[in-house]
Chain A
Amino acid sequence: NAGVTQTPKFQVLKTGQSMTLQCAQDMNHNSMYWYRQDPGMGLRLIYYSASEGTTDKGEVPNGYNVSRLNKREFSLRLESAAPSQTSVYFCAVGRGGMYEQYFGPGTRLTVT
């Protein structure tokens, strides 16, 4: 029972390159989330998915796209990476609404 897994753990991109961050869960929860974490900014929501087939923007969606492939998987894509997207990215899952979210180990992304 791995909970929430994320790949890759680390990534370095050049400006303009694209990549997809993967998230998978075995907790059978409906809601999945992508956050970024920057120094002094706490965790900010990029996109979330309340159920398979639905996605919604969070606080900082610009420059990102998401895909809820099935109940287990939720991917985050950077089409043209920028240095401002250097951050640590966390995927989280939960029952939605007023319930806790469970976080993956994170992906540390550096864009040069």
Chain B
Amino acid sequence: GESVGLHLPTLSVQEGDNSIINCAYSNSASDYFIWYKQESGKGPQFIIDIRSNMDKRQGQRVTVLLNKTVKHLSLQIAATQPGDSAVYFCAETHNTDKLIFGTGTRLQVFP
């Protein structure tokens, strides 16, 4: 089943290359950010988060960069694999229980 559909921005990369997925957020007061991965027919899966007192955070094969000056968040995936094909969402919040989600980017990995 589709996650988010018809007019998603799409990033196509070759297997083994690095991927960079970008997200512009709207609220300059947002202080917590999350990246989620959603595979077809499944619920969003937590990848990595970052708080506003940091510029960079690394996980396993993923890195999140936060530029508060221009309200920009990026997710870098190293050595992209076919299993990374999915829709990726960023989400933000400002000291509340409510996450605000972006509309998502579809990542397609070609062999």
A53 proximal to B (CB < 8 A): no
Least CB separation from B36: chain A residue: A103
Cα A21 to Cα B2 with chains together (Å): 20
Q: A42-B103, A48-B98 are in contact. Are A102 and B46 (CB under 8 A)?
A: yes
Residues 16-49 of B, flagged 1 when their CB comes within 8 A of A and 0 if not, give 0000000000000001101010000111111001
Interface residues in A, total, Cβ within 8 A: 32
B70 proximal to A (CB < 8 A): no
Residues 72-99 of B, flagged 1 when their CB comes within 8 A of A and 0 if not, give 0000000000000000010101011111
Residues of A contacting B: mostly:
strand
User: Of A12-20, A63-71, A76-84, A93-101, which stretch is located at the interface?
Assistant: A93-101
- In contact, A98 and B44 (Cβ under 8 angstroms): no
Option from B41, B46, B51, B104 in Cβ contact (under 8 Å) with A42? B104
Cα A43 to Cα B93 with chains together (Å): 14
Q: A40-B6, A90-B44 are in contact. Are A98 and B102 (CB under 8 A)?
A: no
Option from B34, B43, B91, B93 in Cβ contact (under 8 Å) with A90? B43
Q: What residues of chain B lie closer than 8 Å to A72, measured between beta carbons?
A: none
Contact surface of A with B, Cβ cutoff 8 Å:
4, 31, 33, 37-45, 48, 50, 58-59, 88, 90, 92, 94, 96-106, 108
Contact surface of B with A, Cβ cutoff 8 Å:
1-8, 31-32, 34, 36, 41-46, 49, 51, 89, 91, 93, 95-99, 101-104
Task: Jot down 20 A-B pairs with beta carbons below 8 A, ordered by A.
Answer: A37-B3, A39-B5, A40-B4, A40-B5, A40-B7, A40-B103, A41-B4, A42-B89, A42-B104, A43-B89, A48-B98, A90-B43, A90-B44, A96-B97, A97-B96, A98-B32, A98-B93, A101-B34, A103-B44, A106-B1
